[in-house]
Chain A
Amino acid sequence: MPFSPDTIAELNLLSQFESSSGQAGIKVHKSGASPETVQAAERLFAKGLITRDDGGYLTPMGSEAVELTQKLQSILTT
């Protein structure tokens, strides 16, 4: 099953977190970010992966998702 554009946007947003530890948060500026990114943030928030609908911090599940995203990226790029 191919990744949908929505899923890819969510993966891209998750990859913006510097690490899965969640020490640093991110902010998606609705005025400047692409609509895809803004909507991806809203979906990740609705799924319980981040603490705010415009970014915030990773939740425990979001932290796990970032770890898996990083692993997948590492596998695919080596």
Chain B
Amino acid sequence: MTLKHSVGALLVTASFMLVGPLHAEPADSTVDELKRETRELGETLQKYGADQKDQAEDSINRALTALDERIAELEEELSENWDDMSSVARERSQESLASLREQRERVQAWYNELKASSASAWERAKKGFSDAYDALSEQWSETERDLTLDQEKRNQSI
């Protein structure tokens, strides 16, 4: 049997540290802010008990809405830059965004599970959501990095 175990878990904080310097420009302050909020949600979620379900849902809704908007922006950027990109860069960017969408869908499935969970199932659902959310955050950082690197290459070649 040829089963290939794919990407393991990396600490989200570590991935943010790796990506941070690439987004130091003022124009990326919104992205940096979103990264901070995303990281904070991952941390604060751990503190929510089953009796704080509404608060948890509010926090998650805000974070996911902001993240969805950013994903839409990335897709738009890719579309705008498409003609200037090499076939390799196009393929890499498309694959990266596809992985990001897959992780987003996975988070949504766990979020639905979390919303429907009883008090006794809360911790299990929260753990599942947190793991999926960490993977989404990690993939988001990778996608930002992939698209930024391509942008930098094109800028240098001009």
Categorize the interface residue count of chain B: 20 to 34
Give the complex CA separation of A34 and B102 in angstroms: 26
Verify B9–A29 contact, CB threshold 8 A. Answer: no
Verify A27–B113 contact, CB threshold 8 A. Answer: no
Verify B1–A22 contact, CB threshold 8 A. Answer: no
Contacts of B132 in A (CB 8 A): 22, 57
Verify B131–A26 contact, CB threshold 8 A. Answer: no
B109 partner, pick from A27, A29, A60, beta carbons under 8 A: A60
Instruction: Name A17's closest neighbour in chain B (CB-CB).
Output: B5
Q: Contacts A51-B102, A60-B125 known; A25 to B7 CB distance under 8 Å?
A: yes
Task: Type the 1/0 row for B100-126, where 1 means its CB is closer than 8 Å to any CB of A.
Answer: 001001100110110000000000010
Contacts of A33 in B (CB 8 A): 1-3
Verify B127–A16 contact, CB threshold 8 A. Answer: no
Contacts of A28 in B (CB 8 A): 3
Give the complex CA separation of A32 and B1 in angstroms: 7
Q: How far is the CB of B112 from chain A (nearest CB, A)?
A: 8
B residues at A contact (CB < 8 Å): 1-9, 102, 105-106, 109-110, 112-113, 125, 127-128, 131-132, 134-135
Q: Ordered nearest first, which 8 A-B pairs have the shortest CB separation? A: A32-B2, A60-B113, A23-B9, A25-B6, A21-B131, A27-B4, A29-B2, A23-B131
Instruction: Please give 13 more A-B residue pairs, beta carbons under 8 A apart, in addition to A23-B9, A25-B7, A63-B128.
Output: A21-B128, A21-B131, A23-B134, A26-B4, A27-B3, A29-B3, A33-B1, A33-B2, A55-B3, A57-B106, A57-B135, A59-B109, A60-B110
